[in-house]
Chains A and B, each alone.
Chain A
Amino acid sequence: MTFAEIQSRAKAEWAALEHGDKPRILIGSATCGRAAGAKAVLEATNAALAQHNLEANITEVGCIGPCYAEPLMDIIKPGRPRICYSQVTPEIVPWLIEDYIINDNPHSDLALGTIGDGSLDGIPRLFDLPMLKPQVRIALRNCGTIDPEEINQYIARDGYRGLVRALSMTPEEVIEEIKKSGLRGRGGAGFPTGMKWEFCRKSPGTVKYIICNADEGDPGAFMDRSLLEGDPHAVLEGMLISAYAIGATEGYIYIRAEYPLAIDRLKIALRQMTEYELLGDNILGSGLNFHLKIKEGAGAFVCGEETALMASIEGKRGMPRSRPPFPAQSGLWGKPTNINNVETWANVSAIMLRGTAWYASYGSDKNKGTKTFALAGKINRTGLIEVPLGISLKEIVYDIGDGIPDGKRFKAVQTGGPSGGCLPASQLERPVDYESLTEAGSIMGSGGMVVIDEDTCIVDVARYFLAFTQSESCGKCVPCRLGTKQMLNILENICQGKGKVEDIDLLLKVSQQIKAGSLCALGGTAPNPVLTTIRYFQDEYEAHIKEKRCPALVCPELISYYILADKCQGCGICLRACPTEAITGGKRMVHVIDQSKCNKCSTCLNVCPDRFGAVVKVSGEEIKVPKKPVPITVSKPDTYTQR
């Protein structure tokens, strides 16, 4: 079968599905959907359909983004717009089937929005909602719409046409096209993709490799997982195009073992590509030979770094080496190698399909196109988003992410994982692009965005990231191995109230040394979380050091709990709940916490009934309370000695 035949058959199948007389049901079944109960929803759907003797086409699709609202289920009735329902449970499914599919009541109360053509009264259009309006889907173009295990659905939506177009051009023209698009690597550093390809193409040698970096390890990042689970072919097509442009005949996908579903879907995709002669020798009769293998990681963050990753593929300890030589000159097994991130590849296939002018119409001057981000932490709408570069942080946090839960105050947004930094409210107007985030002291990184609210201690966050880099440092170079340890010790001391005034300067000094002396970017960027938090939140460091006070009331050594004598009702709930038996009291007696026994677990604060509100948490101050339990009636706070 020629590609044209494959394509026309796939398109016919898709049209039959879209315009057929059976209703269609799409269930979001990426890891996020599954973990939220998509499988139970699927079973309930099959049961409800069987019960009513109804037929429908059910498709398990990838993640469309609003993970906070999973499980998601879309229903498309013939002649009606597609409706997306959120937080669907097995109990709700029978109503949707009966009320909407049978009786034509679309249940606008349960609907999140409509997708695509047409509209329905009482249901907003999904992509008009503030959460989706600023978004543009390029890398994620098919996620949530097609069955990731069906290559035909990808092909029906013009998949592999970018490859066909590339094959009709010379390799140099393809590279020129990618250069012109302005695409920069999405794995973190933002290096121009076309330029990297050109280096590799021009490197002497007959054997060349390309690698897809799917080791996604930044805390808070899950974009690459979602993309591979939702549309693996978009990535694989990008790799084929690059293989042709560079002249590579072998490739690897290095994927972390923590992503079993993505690995399964990749395996299925590779099998289907082979069947369609999109992989192997003489691809689509063009003379292009390309073989692709999946390599699973084994749990080491540093293997995301390109030289460590190649060492790991070679079966060695995943330790980075110094560059030059760059992978484009001497990479895997010493051969010229081109390595790109999952999302970079998905952009490549889109660019080859739709052209550079279209691509470059999104984004800003030096930052073309879109970027996916994973929103996590203290934000209302967690999930996966894709936005044009140049959008402000504020739009992401407030319009798309809907701000901070529980009426709390925004404190910072952490971008770039352990290589990035914490940006405060004063930076929210900042455009999200490579240069602007670097200027602010953070980095774009791979796309994790962790939002932090007023209840989070910023020194504790910095300590957290240093603990991460310290434990993930491969140990090869001294500045990274020992420097991160030193910084971690200092931060731990500060959090424990043992900080010294000179510690801030010391942190800054050690940071400079680690940055200058480390072999790879793991060490080179490890100080960033500390540097940005000192830059924007120095007062919080000083409160810990000088006043022994944690303003966010987080650091256990710096906080105390007290039971207020004028509020305690002597109910005994806290006394019974306290795991360390630190509370004494009795019936109608004011309860008292023995500070020497308290382990700061917060249980008493959590269990004290809201209507009493007798337990308080404080830092850097002492509250006057009785020393011993006293009867409630005589309680007058000021008559007791201070502790």
Chain B
Amino acid sequence: MSQQAISNRHGEQDLIGRLKEAQAKFGHVSEEVMAELARSLDIPINDVYGVASFYSFLSTQPLGRNIIRICQSLPCYLKYGQTIMESVAQEIGIIPGETTADGKFSFQLTNCIGLCDRAPAMMINYDSHVDLTPKKIAQILGTYK
């Protein structure tokens, strides 16, 4: 990465923070946003893209209004997390990595979210849902607009 981006704390640029803001505002980090950030921070656009594509909470592709993140780590798997993924897939008709046509949900798999004491678990946006069973899925998803 270029020297400018590593600027010291006095000129701290917080590229990740800026990208997150854009993500929160527009749902993803578009090419235009990256170009604009590159210009305003005076760094090459490939540095901006390099950062945006590195972190799983940043997306360079448009996402749905609600992001479902189902935990795929071992403790959840041991408590039949697989069946939860299948129920969600069935309920909204897409597989992990996809977004519903109406833009309501994006479906992703994530690593442990620290809720293993009540596995299986998932996050929808920043809400935690635990002790999941296939039966609970429709009801939980129904609460999102």
Q: A residues touching B (Cβ–Cβ < 8 Å)?
A: 31-32, 34-36, 67-68, 70, 216-222, 225, 250, 257-260, 296-301, 312, 314-318, 333, 374-378, 382-384, 414, 448, 450, 452, 456, 461, 464-465, 468, 472, 474
Contact = CB atoms under 8 A, between A and B. Distances in A.
Contacts of B129: 35
B78 interface: yes
Nearest to B51: A317
A220 B118 contact: no
Contact of B118 (A67, A316, A317, A461): A67
15 contacts: A31-B115, A35-B121, A35-B128, A35-B131, A36-B118, A220-B116, A257-B57, A258-B114, A297-B55, A299-B57, A300-B54, A318-B55, A382-B116, A448-B116, A452-B78
B126 A260 contact: yes
A147 B25 CA distance: 33
B117 A250 contact: no
A456 B80 CA distance: 11
A445 to B, nearest CB: 13
Contacts of B119: 376, 382
Contacts of B74: 219-220, 377, 414, 450, 461, 464-465
Contacts of A376: 75, 116-117, 119
B145 interface: no
B112 A298 contact: no
Q: Most chain-A Cβ atoms within 10 A of its Cβ — which of B12, B50, B73, B79? A: B73
B135 interface: no
Contact of B5 (A315, A448, A450): A315
State the 8 A-B residue pairs at the shortest beta-carbon distance, nearest first. A219-B73, A298-B55, A299-B56, A67-B117, A376-B116, A315-B15, A299-B57, A222-B114
Given A382-B117, A468-B73, A221 B112 contact: yes
A306 to B, nearest CB: 17
B137 interface: no
Interface string B44-84: 00000011001111100000000000000111011100000
A31 B16 contact: no
A312 B50 CA distance: 12
A315 to B, nearest CB: 4
Interface in B82-123: 110-119, 121, 123
B70 to A, nearest CB: 13
A219 B78 CA distance: 12
Contacts of A461: 74
Contacts of B79: 377
Nearest to B54: A317
Interface residues of B, number: 43
B42 to A, nearest CB: 13
A35 B130 contact: yes
Given A36-B118, A456-B78, A220 B112 contact: yes
Contacts of A36: 118, 130-131
Given A219-B74, A219-B111, 7 more contacts: A299-B56, A301-B111, A316-B5, A318-B54, A448-B116, A450-B74, A450-B78
Nearest to A319: B54
A258 B123 contact: yes
A374 B57 contact: no
Given A219-B112, A220-B112, A258-B114, A317 B50 contact: yes
Contacts of B6: 314-316, 333
A383 B115 CA distance: 10
Contacts, number: 133
B40 interface: no
A222 B77 contact: no
B62 to A, nearest CB: 18
B56 to A, nearest CB: 4
Nearest to B86: A601
Given A35-B118, A376-B119, A217 B111 contact: yes
A32 B75 contact: no
Contacts of A70: 118
Contacts of A218: 112
B54 A219 contact: no
B58 A298 contact: yes
B114 A315 contact: no
Contacts of A450: 74-75, 78, 116
Contact of A315 (B13, B110, B118): B13
B143 interface: no
A374 B117 contact: yes
A35 B71 CA distance: 15
Contacts of A217: 111-112
Contacts of A67: 117-118
Contacts of A472: 111
Given A316-B6, A465-B74, A222 B116 contact: yes
B36 interface: no
A384 B115 CA distance: 11
B138 interface: no
Given A35-B130, A376-B117, A376-B119, A333 B8 contact: yes
A384 B114 contact: no
Contacts of B50: 317
Contacts of B77: 464
B51 A377 contact: no
Contact of B78 (A318, A377, A448, A465): A377
Contacts of A448: 116
Contacts of B75: 219-220, 376-377, 450
Nearest to A31: B128
B103 to A, nearest CB: 21
Nearest to A209: B9
Q: Most chain-B Cβ atoms within 10 A of its Cβ — which of A35, A257, A260, A301? A: A35
Contacts of A299: 55-58, 110
Nearest to A256: B114
A56 B114 CA distance: 33
B20 A298 contact: yes
Nearest to A65: B117
B43 to A, nearest CB: 9
B9 A250 contact: yes
A299 to B, nearest CB: 4
Contacts of B113: 258
Contact of A32 (B1, B110, B118): B118
